[in-house]
Structure formats: C-alpha cells, structure tokens
Amino acid sequence: MHTRRGWMGMAAGAAVLGATGLKAQEYKFPNADIKLGIASYSFIKFDRAQAIQMAKELGIQYMNIKDHHLKLDSTPEQIDAAKKEFSDAGITLVGCGNVAFQTDDEADIRSKFEYAKRAGFPLIVCSPTPEILPKMEKYVKEYNIKIAIHNHGPEDKYFQTPQSVLKAVKEMDPRCGLCMDIGHTSRTGADIVESAAEAGPRLLDMHVKDLADPGNKDWKAARDSQVAVGEGKLPIGRLFEQLVKMGYKGSVNLEYEIHQTDPLPGMKISFAYMRGVLAGLEAARNA
C-alpha cells in the first residue's frame, strides 16, 4: 500500500473504472468524506460555459470558483444566472477563491461575503493581511461562511506555510482555517502529510497538484515542473491516507496550472490517479 508501485496500481484500476463510466467523486469512510473537485483556475483560459462543459467531461461535479468565472463585482442578477448555469449542469459549488482581502475597509469585506452568500458558496478561499483577518471573523459568524487562508509559499508576505496560517487562526472561530496548497507547501520545505495532520479540523479545503521538483523555492521553476498528479514526487498516496485517518470532510480540488490551453488530458490522468488511491483505501478498509 505504501509503495509508489502500489499507488500506481490502484490508479490503473481507477482508469479502468473511468473507461466504463464509473467515475466516483465522493469517497465516504467511517469518519471521513472526501470529495474530488476542481479549482476553476485550472480553466483560466476558458469562459464559464466552457469550464462547466470540461468539468462534465471529467465527470466531476464539485468546483471551487475563481472570480474569472464569476466576477466579484457581479450584480445579484448576474450571480443568480451563473448559479443556475452551474446547478443545471449538476455542479455543486464548494467555495470561491482565491479572494484577496487586502483593503482595510469593512464595506469591502462585507461585499465579498455578500457575493459568497448570493452565490451559495459555503467557503471563501482567501488571502488576507494579518491586520484584516481578525475583522473577517465577525462576518464568518454573521454569514456562517467559512474562510480558508491559502498559503502561497516562499513569496507570500504573510502566509507562506500551513503552520503560519494555523498560528494566525488558532484562537479564532473554528470556521476560520486553512486551504493547504500542497505545491506551495512543499516548496517551503514543510511536509504536506505532517502539515495536514497538524492542521486537523482547521484544514477546510485543499488545492492539489504534483511537482517533479517539489523542493524548488522558485515558483516559476517549480510550476514549470508541474505534472499530472501521480507523475511527480509529492506523496499523494500518503496524503490521502492521512486525510482518511484524520476524518477530513472537505474537498480536494485539483488546481492544474500547466497546459492551460489544453488541460483536459493531464486532468484526466490526475483524477484517475486520485480515484485509484481512494478506491484502494476503500478496498483496504473493506478487506
């Protein structure tokens, strides 16, 4: 189970399932409920209608929406229309983001929570400043919308690692937590499996990718080394095993940032691998 060959074997099994149309998206364990989804940044070169069509082709119904596909300054009517487009396509909106909270202005903060409420987003993946973060807690409580701070690696001025996020939210409402980007996390030298375990219930969302050069602190170099999930060096299998162990109930959203004009081939490989890992964990539990 713990060898790379073992994980790849499970991925191959998932590819067979995918070929027959049996594309699982949600994996339920005794204490965990893991949903495979898409960070819509993966479709940054495409409009909303195209993003929806590609998600359907991938057999994925869960999506975290980048503002490219639903502008933050959209009118209520525009938000309602977009929400209907996603709903009609069978897509469940698991959140939005990454949303910047860099302006110390209560009206700006409220407008973004209003946007999320209107769209039905249960969670905002965000990049706040340390000064603005405490003010956001009030709106988390008022709107009952979670916030998940996205760590952005060595270049991030405030939140480089999952640990820096956890330190900032440790005394806050439990709906304030972390969106762990495993690529950026690895570039800081932090272990993604240990970081997930450390986050525990504060891990509210994830951006998943794979890197051939995960230790490179330079983001351009690391990004250029991005590959389909399962083809790089990040310990995806052990990460999923940890998520099951800790009872994770959030989304695992693929953020595929390469081949932006033709992302589907690599995304299909990525989902086949992740489905295989999770199917293997399910099989092991039922054995």
DSSP state of 41: G
Q: What is the pLDDT of residues 86-109, one digit of tens each?
A: 999 999 999 999 999 999 999 999
CATH of the domain at 178: 3.20.20.150
Residue 11 lies in a domain: no
Residue 202 lies in a domain: yes
Residue 19 lies in a domain: no
The two three-digit tokens of residue 74, written as one number: 């959209």
Q: Which residue has the tokens 């590819």?
A: 15
The pLDDT > 90 percentage for the chain reads 85
Residue 146 lies in a domain: yes
Residue 162 lies in a domain: yes
Residue 265 lies in a domain: yes
Check residue 224 and give left, alpha or beta (phi > 0: left; psi -120 to 50: alpha).
Answer: alpha
State the Cα–Cα distance between residues 154 and 187, nearest whole angstrom. Answer: 7
Domain that holds residue 57: 31-286
pLDDT on residue 1: 41
Domain count, the chain: 1
Q: Which residue has the tokens 């602190």?
A: 217
What is the four-CA torsion angle of 131, 133, 137, 139, rounded to 10 degrees?
100
Binning pLDDT at 50, 70 and 90, where does residue 59 land?
A: very high
Q: What is the pLDDT of residues 254-286, one digit of tens each?
A: 999 999 999 999 999 999 999 999 999 988 888
* HSE, side-chain direction, 13 A CA sphere, residue 205: 35
Is a pLDDT exceeding 60 seen at residue 13? no
Residue 1 lies in a domain: no
Contact residues for 28 (Cβ-Cβ < 8 A; gap 6+): none
* Neighbour tally for 12: CB within 10 Å: 12
Average pLDDT over residues 144-148: 98
Residue 35 lies in a domain: yes
